């Protein structure tokens, strides 16, 4: 697939999986163009025939946050424009139609933290670090997304201190991430994407739609909505095939005396 961007690359990982790579040396800082490129790449890949998207960063950094030089030049008018571009890219990622795996290869600060939080699964290198340095650069933001990772008091600590924590420390604070050896990061992420693909494209798209919807609904309404996807899947051939596979597996174990 040809993606006409300067700071975002899209590559094929395997059958029905693509990797989106932020590539703005030296630290993949999110300036106006990178945000536009990210939005456009997400729009184009969403139209592709795929089941899983991986997002990562080129080099030693996942995403260092917004470009501090643009922050320095901001006034009231340009700040509104920049924040709108940030939101546009974020919402496009959040609403991506198939599962997104964040392959966090290095520092994920500010916007980088948000990109990881808006993904569905996060696999982090043991060299990765996370943080919210907003107060150090005179801005605000990132609180809402970090709450998807860690409890409220951990969010406040990270935000008020601007401290950077290792992936292991972030996990200890409660973050639902996998931490793997840096040299194994790409392999583990690719294997995980293959596991997701095995679930079937229709099921994955239904699952993503259901997860996004029920996250903001009360329990009763959310569960009733989620059940509509069970009904929609029930008669589909891939659903019947999946059920048959499990039944056949149980029968085989019984025959061999393992069950």
Which neighbouring-strand residues pair with 55?
A: 20, 102
Contacts (Cβ under 8 Å, ≥6 apart) of 63: 22, 27, 28, 29, 30, 57, 107, 108, 109, 110, 111, 112, 115
Report percent pLDDT > 90 for the chain: 73
Average pLDDT over residues 182-211: 96
Confidence of residue 115 (pLDDT cuts 50, 70, 90): very high
d(CA 126, CA 106): 9
Q: What mean pLDDT comes out for the span 163-190?
A: 97
| pLDDT of 4 | 53
- pLDDT, one tens digit per residue, over 11-43 is 999 889 999 999 999 999 999 999 999 999 999
Residue 236 to residue 229: CA distance in whole angstroms:
11
Of 120 and 71, the one with more pLDDT: 120
User: Whole-structure pTM over 0.85, yes or no?
Assistant: yes
Q: Who contacts 205 (Cβ-Cβ below 8 Å, separation ≥6)?
A: 97, 98
pLDDT > 80? residue 259: no
Chain CA centroid to CA 120, Å: 5
CA dist list (Å): 32 to 69, 85, 162, 231: 11, 7, 23, 43
According to the model, what pLDDT value does residue 2 have?
45
Q: Is the pLDDT of residue 194 over 60?
A: yes
Helix (H, G, I), strand (E, B), or coil: what is residue 180?
A: strand
pLDDT by residue (tens digit) across 70-102? Answer: 877 777 888 888 889 999 999 999 999 999 999
The mean pLDDT of the chain is: 92
Enter the tokens of residue 1. 């697939």
Give the pLDDT of residue 77: 83
Tens-place pLDDT, residues 205-247 = 999 999 999 998 999 999 999 999 888 888 788 777 777 878 8
Instruction: Using the structure block, give the residue that is written with the tokens 């995403």.
Output: 63
Secondary structure class of 75 (helix, strand, coil): coil
Q: Is 3.90.226.10 the CATH number for 8-197?
A: yes
- Per-residue pLDDT at 5 exceeds 80: no
**Orientation angle between helical segments 237-256 and 201-214, nearest 10 degrees:** 110
pLDDT of residue 86: 93
Taking residues 241-257, what's their average pLDDT? 80
Q: In what order do the strands lie in the sheet with 52-57?
A: 8-14, 17-22, 52-57, 100-104, 121-125, 178-180
Condensed to tens digits (0 to 9), the pLDDT of residues 141-158 reads: 888 999 999 999 999 999
Q: Which of 151, 156, 154, 116 is nearest to 140 (CA)?
A: 156
Spatial CB neighbours of 105, under 8 Å, sequence gap ≥ 6: 56, 57, 60, 61, 62, 125, 127, 128, 182, 185
Q: How confident is the model at residue 258 (pLDDT cuts 50, 70, 90)?
A: low
DSSP letter, residue 254: H
Does 172 or 230 have the greater pLDDT score? Answer: 172
Beta strands in the chain (DSSP E): 8-14, 17-22, 52-57, 61-63, 100-104, 107-109, 121-125, 129-131, 164-166, 178-180
């Amino acid at each position: 697939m040809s993606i006409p961007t300067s700071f975002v690359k899209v590559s094929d990982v395997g059958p029905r999986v693509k990797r989106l790579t932020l590539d703005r040396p030296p630290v993949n800082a999110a300036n106006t163009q990178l945000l536009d490129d990210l939005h456009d790449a997400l729009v184009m890949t969403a139209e592709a025939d795929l089941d899983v998207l991986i997002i990562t960063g080129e080099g030693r950094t996942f995403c260092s946050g917004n470009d501090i030089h643009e922050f320095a030049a901001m006034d009231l008018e340009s700040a509104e424009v920049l924040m709108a571009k940030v939101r546009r890219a974020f919402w496009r990622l959040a609403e991506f139609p198939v599962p997104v795996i964040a392959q966090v290869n290095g520092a994920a600060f500010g916007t980088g933290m948000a990109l990881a939080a808006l993904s569905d699964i996060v696999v982090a290198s043991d060299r990765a670090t996370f943080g919210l340095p907003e107060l150090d650069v005179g801005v605000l933001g990132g609180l809402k997304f970090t709450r998807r990772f860690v409890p409220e008091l951990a969010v406040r600590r990270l935000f008020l201190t601007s401290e950077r924590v290792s992936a292991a420390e972030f996990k200890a604070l409660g973050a639902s991430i996998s931490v793997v050896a840096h040299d194994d990061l790409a392999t583990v992420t690719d294997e995980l994407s293959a596991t997701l693909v095995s679930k079937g494209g229709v099921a994955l798209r239904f699952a993503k739609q259901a997860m996004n919807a029920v996250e903001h609904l009360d329990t009763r309404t959310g569960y009733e909505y989620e059940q509509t996807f069970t009904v929609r899947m029930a008669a589909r051939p891939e659903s019947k095939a999946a059920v048959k596979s499990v039944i056949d597996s149980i029968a085989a174990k019984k025959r061999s005396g393992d069950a």
